[in-house]
Amino acid sequence: MGYEDAKADAKKTMREADEKAKETWRRADGEESVSDKVANLGDDIRNELGNAGDNVRREADELHTDVEDKPL
């Protein structure tokens, strides 16, 4: 596991912890309103897009490295 993998994993863990904290805070009043559910959905989407972006970046870096290593 390289630096980029470790960084992406750390970012994913932080996103998940942040999401859980927000969900807990939104449920603190004992009810989960429609706006709370929409906010949670928005958090889920944002986190998944962030994770997908990290994966794309990681794969693109590997592809770039593979191409650079091959002679013309």
Domain count, the chain: 1
pLDDT over 90 percentage in the chain: 60
What's the pLDDT tens digit per position in 21-46? 999 999 998 888 999 999 999 999 99
Query: Which ranges of the chain would DSSP assign to H, the alpha helix?
Result: 3-26, 34-69
Alpha-carbon distance of 22 to 14, in angstroms, equals: 12
Rounded Cα distance, 38 and 1, in Å? 36
Mean pLDDT, residues 47-69: 84
Closest CA to 47 of 26, 25, 21, 19: 19
Domain hosting residue 37, numbered range: 3-69
Q: What is the pLDDT of residue 70?
A: 66
